[in-house]
Amino acid sequence: MLRQYELVDLVKSYDPYADEDALNRAYVFALKKHGSQMRTSGDPYYSHPIEVAGILTKYKLDSASIIAALLHDTVEDTDTTLEEIKDLFGEQVAQLVDGLTKLAMLEHKSGSSKQAENFRKLLLAMSEDIRVLLIKLADRLHNMRTLHFCPPDKRARIARETLDIYAPLAERIGMDELKEEMDEISFAELYKDAHDSIVMRLNFLREQGNDIVPKIIQQLEKDMEDNGVHCTITGREKSPYSIWRKMQLKNASFEQLSDIMAFRICVETVADCYQALGIIHSKYHMVPRRFKDYISTPKPNGYQSLHTGVIGPLDVRIEVQIRTYEMHEVNEKGVAAHWAYKQGQHTEGKNFRWVRELLEILDQAQNPDEFLENTKLEMYNDQVFCFTPKGDLIGLPVGSTPVDFAYAIHSNVGNTCVGAKINGEIKPLRTILQNGDQVEVLTAKNQHPSLEWDRFVVTGKAKAAIRRYVRINKREQFITLGKEIIDKLFKAEDQEFSEKELVKYLSNFEAETVDDVYAKVGEGLVTGWDVLRIMHPAYRQSKLEKVVSAIKLPVFNKKDKNKRDSLKIRGLIDGMAVHFAGCCHPLPGDRIVGIVTTGKGVTIHTVDCPSLHNYDKEPERWLDVDWGPEAEQEKHIARLKLMLSNEPGALAEVANIVAKAEANIINLNITYRTLSYFEILLDIEIKNVDQLNNLILNMRAEKLISYVARANK
Q: What is the pLDDT of residue 392?
A: 72
Q: Does the pTM exceed 0.75?
A: no
Homologous superfamily of 635-710: ACT domain (3.30.70.260)
Kindly state the percentage of the chain with pLDDT values over 70. Answer: 81
| Rounded Cα distance, 122 and 168, in Å | 14
pLDDT in tens, 220-258: 999 999 999 999 999 877 788 888 887 776 677 776 665
Q: Over 234-266, what HEC string results?
A: EEEECCHHHHHHHHHHHCCCHHHCCCCEEEEEE
List phi, psi (to 5°) of 150. -85, 160
Asked whether the predicted pLDDT for residue 466 surpasses 50, the reply is yes
CB hemisphere CA count around 66 (13 angstroms): 30
- 15 in catalytic set: no
β-partners of residue 680 are 642, 670
CATH of domain 199-336: 3.30.460.10
Which of 337 and 59 is assigned the larger pLDDT?
A: 59
Long-range contacts of 325-329 (CB under 8 A, 24+ apart): 325/232, 325/266, 325/267, 325/268, 327/295, 328/264, 328/266
Instruction: Let me know how long the chain is.
Output: 713
Of 15, 20, 43, 76, which one is the catalytic site residue? 76
Asked whether the predicted pLDDT for residue 672 surpasses 70, the reply is yes
Asked whether the predicted pLDDT for residue 559 surpasses 50, the reply is no
Q: What is the pLDDT of residue 122?
A: 61
| Rounded Cα distance, 593 and 624, in Å | 6
Q: What is the mean pLDDT of the chain?
A: 80
Which of 34 and 333 is assigned the larger pLDDT?
A: 34
| DSSP letter, residue 164 | I
Asked whether the predicted pLDDT for residue 686 surpasses 60, the reply is yes
- H helices within 551-583, ranges in order? 561-566
| Rounded Cα distance, 643 and 446, in Å | 29
> Could you tell me which residues come within 8 angstroms of residue 642 by beta carbon, excluding any fewer than 6 positions away?
654, 679, 680, 682, 699, 705, 707, 708
Determine the average pLDDT of the residues in 26-42: 89
Asked whether the predicted pLDDT for residue 647 surpasses 80, the reply is yes
Specify the range with the lowest mean pLDDT, choosing from 17-26, 40-49, 88-97, 620-629: 620-629
Q: What is the pLDDT of residue 399?
A: 82
β-partners of residue 588 are 590
Q: Which of 352, 408, 362, 355 is nearest to 383 (CA)?
A: 408
Are 409 and 442 spatial neighbours (Cβ–Cβ below 8 Å)?
Answer: no
Distances (CA, A) of 615 to 107, 481, 566, 577: 47, 12, 22, 19
Specify the range with the lowest mean pLDDT, choosing from 467-481, 561-575, 585-599, 672-686: 561-575
β-partners of residue 684 are 638, 665
Of 20, 43, 77, 690, which one is the catalytic site residue? 77
Q: What is the torsional sign of CA 107, 111, 113, 116?
A: positive
Specify the range with the lowest mean pLDDT, choosing from 273-277, 562-566, 585-589: 562-566
Q: What is the pLDDT of residue 112?
A: 45
Q: What is the pLDDT of residue 208?
A: 67
- DSSP letters, 303-341, are ---EEEEEE-GGG-EEEEEEEEHHHHHHHHHGGGGG-GG
Which of 673 and 376 is assigned the larger pLDDT?
A: 673
User: If you average pLDDT over each of 126-130, 147-151, 263-267, 588-592, which comes out highest?
Assistant: 263-267
Helix (H) or strand (E) holding 366: none
Amino acid at 219: Q
Are 493 and 531 spatial neighbours (Cβ–Cβ below 8 Å)?
Answer: no
Asked whether the predicted pLDDT for residue 560 surpasses 50, the reply is no
Confidence of residue 259 (pLDDT cuts 50, 70, 90): low
* Cα 501 from chain centre: 45
| DSSP letter, residue 80 | -
Are 537 and 634 spatial neighbours (Cβ–Cβ below 8 Å)?
Answer: no
Kindly state the percentage of the chain with pLDDT values over 90. Answer: 18
| Rounded Cα distance, 86 and 97, in Å | 10
- 76 in catalytic set: yes
Q: What is the pLDDT of residue 346?
A: 45
CATH topology of domain 4-190: Hypothetical protein af1432 (1.10.3210)
User: If you average pLDDT over each of 79-88, 94-103, 344-353, 360-369, which comes out highest?
Assistant: 79-88
Asked whether the predicted pLDDT for residue 81 surpasses 70, the reply is yes
Asked whether the predicted pLDDT for residue 345 surpasses 50, the reply is no
Domain spans of the chain, in order of start: 4-190, 199-336, 635-710
Long-range contacts of 111-118 (CB under 8 A, 24+ apart): 112/369, 112/690, 112/694, 113/367, 113/368, 113/369, 115/161, 115/164, 115/165, 115/372, 116/367, 116/368, 116/369, 116/371, 116/372, 117/368, 118/165
Asked whether the predicted pLDDT for residue 54 surpasses 50, the reply is yes
| Rounded Cα distance, 289 and 541, in Å | 75
- H helices within 561-710, ranges in order? 561-566, 650-660, 689-700
Helix/strand/coil percentages in the chain, nearest 5: 55, 15, 30
| Rounded Cα distance, 322 and 541, in Å | 82
Determine the average pLDDT of the residues in 96-122: 59
- In terms of Cβ atoms closer than 10 Å to its own Cβ (0-12, 13-18, 19+), residue 428 is exposed
| Rounded Cα distance, 606 and 588, in Å | 10
| Antiparallel, parallel or unpaired: β 383-387 and 393-397 | antiparallel
Q: What is the pLDDT of residue 279?
A: 95
| Rounded Cα distance, 532 and 223, in Å | 87
Specify the range with the lowest mean pLDDT, choosing from 142-146, 296-300, 403-407: 296-300
β-partners of residue 300 are none
Q: What is the pLDDT of residue 186?
A: 93
CB hemisphere CA count around 61 (13 angstroms): 28
